[in-house]
Structure 1
Amino acid sequence: MSHPPPLRRLAVVGAGWAGLSAAVQATRAGAQVVLFDMAREAGGRARSTPQDGLDLDNGQHILIGAYRDTLALMRQVGVDVDQGFWRQPLALVSPDGSGLRLPGGPAVPAFVRGVLGWTELPWRARLALLTHAARWRLGGFRCPADWSVAHLCERLPRAAFDALIDPLCVAALNTPAREASALVLLTVLKEALFGPPGGADLLLPRRPLQALLPAPALTWLQSRGGVWRPGHRVQQLAPTDGGWQVDGEAFDAVVLACSATEAARLLAGPAPDWAATTAALAYQPIVTVWLRHPGLRWPQPMMAFPAQATPGLPAPAQFGFDLGQLGLAPDTFALVISGAAEWVDRGTEQTVHALRLQLRQAFSGRLPAWEDGKVSVLTVRTEKRATFACTPGLRRPSGQPLPGLAVAGDYVAGPFPATLEGAVRSGRLAIEGLLQA
């Protein structure tokens, strides 16, 4: 005798990457999914929007080979991952050609070979970096929950810290090292630098983010009976006998995959303690600046910018991307400022001015085509609540606050920072938890 699936009718509130992940997972399990989102487009904080004839992502995103759930989800909905990304082993290379380059192959030998070959770093710093990495690995990549990254690395030479740990910390956790959780960073290092071969590979989008998940996922869902309700901001969730009501409509279960702010609003009545924990989360901003320079081509699609001083101002951007080499936008470059609270306070004008000085210092005399006068600003986007502040001992809300209701999002309790992989994985875990219940 056949039995109906445990989730006959499921509401997913929020069509970001966590919500899309949950919706696909539930559809595969046999549920009929209704997907709500207050926006008109799916994708949440990682989607594309038009700008001067281009589809620019809402911030430049980097994926890595260790994003197993994200890549599997893309393949599930029909995305050709090999064609969708520019892939290479990890390379954090500055405009002067210096930096860490990892070879391919098994993770530990690749890391050792990469660090030993990092000739710009003093021998003492290279050996200390390898020694610290070995200790972290032998310790199971664990440390006290109240340690900051700065405390974890207090005996590491400053040269090694500035060249590798600090940029990895701000890129992965979007939180300055003095404030960032050492335990979460160690988890990232374990998954990326010391996981399966290829885990540290850089995957840079060759297509707008909309084409890499939100659009194909919606097509996949609708072709299998999923219902898409854009422009619908859910106003009320109410538990019933054996299920939930979403704005008065009956469902067997609900996945909340909206922002933490929206989730706290919706659960303020049904789960006040959970809502209070969620509302207490602090956030870190990211600023992305898109520039144009006709005829300019960088040495490689992604470059790391050291935190070097410029006259009167520190250097804002940590990473930059040549979108022309990625086939996205000719003569266009995206500069990313993570952990950008200081620059949000300074304002757009000062930020762009400091960025111009940073690029002049980085490229003048190194790229023959570089001319200050040819640089123009295409647009600046500030995401003030880009990620939660990933601080030591942070209390993050549970993903299963009430029977028949799960929460998916990069902010829910888990070992990872606020990344696309964290969001996608949380969507999968939300459905698995509902099915097990």
Structure 2
Amino acid sequence: MHICVIGGGLTGLSAAFRLSGSHEVTILEMNEEAGGCLSSYHLPDYAIESLYHHCFSGDRHLLSLLDELDLLRDLEWLHGSTGYLVNNQIHPLTTPLQIIRYPLLSFVEKIRLAFFVLRSRSADRGKLDSIPAKTYCVDQLGERIYSSFFEPLLRSKFGDQRDDVSAAWLVSRIAIRSDRGPEGERLGYLKGGYIRLIDSLLSYLNAEGCRIVTGHRVISATPDEGGWIVDGTRYDCLISTLPPQETARICSVPFTPLPYQGSACLTLGTSLDPTNGIYWVNMGDPAPYGAVITHTNLVPYDRYGEHIVYIASYFRGNPPEDSEEILLSDFCSRFDIPRDQIHWHRLRIEPFAGPVYVTGYRSLIPDPNPAPGLFIAGMFSPENYPERSMDGSIRAGEEIARRVMEWSD
């Protein structure tokens, strides 16, 4: 059976990885290289992800895939520190002592917050799908704790859509980040970068005869006597890893559009550490971005010879035409980084960076097999609900491959 996979991101590559041994597979990727949101910039001395990435100890499918590709031994577990920037000051919130010293909450409020976090790890996410995160937090903790602690997190991830996000996403976010100790959150990073995962998948697929076509933006796909014609070529089966509304446009199959958001992420290299040794700083002060992630405060600086910083922002519609200058100018001013200390900077705009997990999202998840011979999977799939991740994307790819194999039998 000849299978077409639209999209060479982690879901598409994972599906092809499971199918290539027994089927002929062609991957059509619109960008010039595969990897999707896990693709990398190629600097003279190293490669670095164009969007910040780390994994978690509970990412079983990712760990299993790394093991299959003989990469697991190079996955190292590091300590991720966190902080909030409020009133032009970064407040570290990694160790218990730092949390106790956090000035925007009283000691009693911190105790309430700690118990809330513990309860959230075992909360029934299905029941929380219809409850806004803000409502849940305010009811459980009060307006003050919400506005000073959780609202910056929601704003950094979802911007002006934060009031629509469900409590299911929030408790999932807490649970996925619960592997932490006094030194911070336990996060995984692959030595040499996740480009090694993408390259290993591509090497395997090439060896199995999988055809990988980059720079090909699919225009149309139409059903044809038990198969699909994709841009003039007939296939027996079609897997689309695009957002459902994009699959609908290409395939003329009706879907209820899912709420998505775009991201504009500025990555830069600098000789200065803007966040005082902290890996992840959420912006409590108004800013044109929601978080500043200093990659080299997680992964050792000496591997790169400079600090690597991600400035993360999200948008609906279209970002400002001068997004790069807006982000860079505010960052340099706010963090006292002279322009001549910025060695390089690159902006990645991703129109469909990920779903927004609004209330009622679970009922919007589309059928993975919406038409004969058509299968869909991606960040919108059940495996990525209610929080997307590399592990969820791999699970989605593997699950859709299983469905295709059952269908072909």
Q: Deviations over 1:197-254 (max 9, x none)?
A: xxx622245434322x222101011112222222333344333444434345443322
Question: Residue in 2 aligned with 1:333?
Answer: 308
What is the CA–CA distance in structure 1 between the aligned matches of 2:237 and 2:229, rounded to whole Å?
Answer: 9
Offset at 1:356?
2.1
Question: Residue in 2 aligned with 1:83?
Answer: 74
Q: Does 1:38 align with 2:30?
A: yes
Offset at 1:376?
2.5
Q: Does 1:422 align with 2:389?
A: no
TM-score of the superposed pair, with normalisation by structure 1 = 0.75
1:351 aligned to 327, 349, 354, which one? 327
Question: Residue in 1 aligned with 2:92?
Answer: 98
Amino acid at match of 1:20: L
What is the CA–CA distance in structure 2 between the aligned matches of 1:375 and 1:238, rounded to whole Å?
Answer: 52
Contact map agreement 2:152 2:284 (CA 8 A) in 1: no
Amino acid at match of 2:36: G
Seq. identity, %: 18
Report matched runs for 1:384-423 at 5 Å. Answer: 384-394=351-361, 395-413=364-382, 415-423=385-393
* Unmatched runs of 5 consecutive residues or more in structure 2: none
Offset at 1:18?
0.9
Offset at 1:49?
3.1
- In structure 2, the CA distance between the partners of 1:43 and 1:387, relative to structure 1 (3 Å rule), is same
What is the CA–CA distance in structure 2 between the aligned matches of 1:97 and 1:204, rounded to whole Å?
Answer: 25
TM-score of the superposed pair, with normalisation by structure 2 = 0.79
Question: Residue in 2 aligned with 1:255?
Answer: 239
SS for the counterpart of 1:339 is strand
What is the CA–CA distance in structure 1 between the aligned matches of 2:328 and 2:8, rounded to whole Å?
Answer: 32
Q: Does 1:431 align with 2:404?
A: no
What is the CA–CA distance in structure 2 between the aligned matches of 1:336 and 1:63, rounded to whole Å?
Answer: 19
Offset at 1:153?
0.5
Question: Residue in 1 aligned with 2:4?
Answer: 11
Q: Does 1:179 align with 2:164?
A: yes
What is the CA–CA distance in structure 2 between the aligned matches of 1:166 and 1:64, rounded to whole Å?
Answer: 24
Offset at 1:127?
1.7
Amino acid at match of 2:8: A
- In structure 2, the CA distance between the partners of 1:204 and 1:125, relative to structure 1 (3 Å rule), is farther
What is the CA–CA distance in structure 1 between the aligned matches of 2:51 and 2:354, rounded to whole Å?
Answer: 12
Report matched runs for 1:293-372 at 5 Å. Answer: 293-294=270-271, 300=277, 302-308=279-285, 314=287, 316-323=289-296, 325-326=300-301, 329-340=304-315, 344-345=319-320, 347-348=322-323, 349-360=325-336, 372=338
Q: Does 1:228 align with 2:197?
A: no
Contact map agreement 1:26 1:33 (CA 8 A) in 2: yes
What is the CA–CA distance in structure 1 between the aligned matches of 2:23 and 2:155, rounded to whole Å?
Answer: 39
- In structure 2, the CA distance between the partners of 1:210 and 1:26, relative to structure 1 (3 Å rule), is same
Measured on the aligned residues, the alpha-carbon RMSD in Å equals 3.6
SS for the counterpart of 1:143 is helix
- Larger deviation, residues 157-166 vs 380-389: 157-166
What is the CA–CA distance in structure 2 between the aligned matches of 1:157 and 1:52, rounded to whole Å?
Answer: 50
Contact map agreement 1:172 1:419 (CA 8 A) in 2: no
Amino acid at match of 1:351: L
Contact map agreement 2:179 2:186 (CA 8 A) in 1: no
Q: Does 1:72 align with 2:56?
A: no
Offset at 1:170?
5.6
What is the CA–CA distance in structure 1 between the aligned matches of 2:54 and 2:315, rounded to whole Å?
Answer: 17
SS for the counterpart of 1:400 is coil
SS for the counterpart of 1:401 is coil
Question: Residue in 2 aligned with 1:379?
Answer: 345
What is the CA–CA distance in structure 1 between the aligned matches of 2:317 and 2:92, rounded to whole Å?
Answer: 27
What is the CA–CA distance in structure 2 between the aligned matches of 1:388 and 1:426, rounded to whole Å?
Answer: 15
Offset at 1:416?
2.9
- In structure 2, the CA distance between the partners of 1:372 and 1:14, relative to structure 1 (3 Å rule), is closer
Contact map agreement 2:92 2:278 (CA 8 A) in 1: no
